[in-house]
Amino acid sequence: MNIVITGAGKGIGFELAKIFTANKHRTFAISRNTESLQNLSGNLLKPFSFDLLKGDYQQLALKIKDFLPEVDILINNAGILINKAFRDFTDDDFDIMFRTNVNSVAKMSRMLLPDLKPGSHIVNISSIGGYQGSSKFPGLSLYSASKGAVSILSEAMAEELKEKGVSVNALALGAVQTEMLALAFPGYQASLKAPEMASFIYDFAINGNKYFNGKIIPVSSSTP
């Protein structure tokens, strides 16, 4: 299968790149910093340095097309977290958070529509913090709001793309031991590690669209 992953330079995205290539899937791995991915490079992996906020998406589309004739799975994993009290947020904080966490999901998905075929699967990585009724935490108001937007966008995308035969689902992840979790909850140790969550996402990306479309699925064994 042909795979595109954003935010592949570290954490869950990096582990996903490892799993997909280990299982013989051609993988285009996008990250601002690709240093870690260079160690995985081979015929099945194409690391590509790209800034989702400032990059030329048309150029990115051409680079993907050079490596993958079509796309079976798009995993919109990239995200940013700014841990700051609501009263202290600036307009710039808001713009960076929503452009990275929400707008890049829409832009990547629209850009790759011509390359997605019936049976393709878009998996958007959301957060349990953006899941209605879940626990919310101080300092994460806009992060949670942005991930809630990703979830609702996923539902709407699924409706619009169903005639094309493309499925769209969102995984609302709970606590996973990553750099982002450490930023949100310093000192907290999650029960799940990035490789474990990546293994679940790998299986879901390949098989989940047989059972789900337009769903927001909480994947959370624990929250701080």
Q: Mind telling me the catalytic residues?
A: 143
CA 70 vs CA 82, 92, 210: distances in Å: 35, 36, 20
What is the Cα–Cα distance from 65 to 142, expressed in whole angstroms? 34
Q: Which residues pair with 42 in a beta bridge?
A: 45
Dump the DSSP string for 106-123. Answer: HHHHHHHGGGEEEEEEEE
d(CA 192, CA 50): 28
The alpha carbon dihedral of 115, 149, 53, 78 has a sign of negative
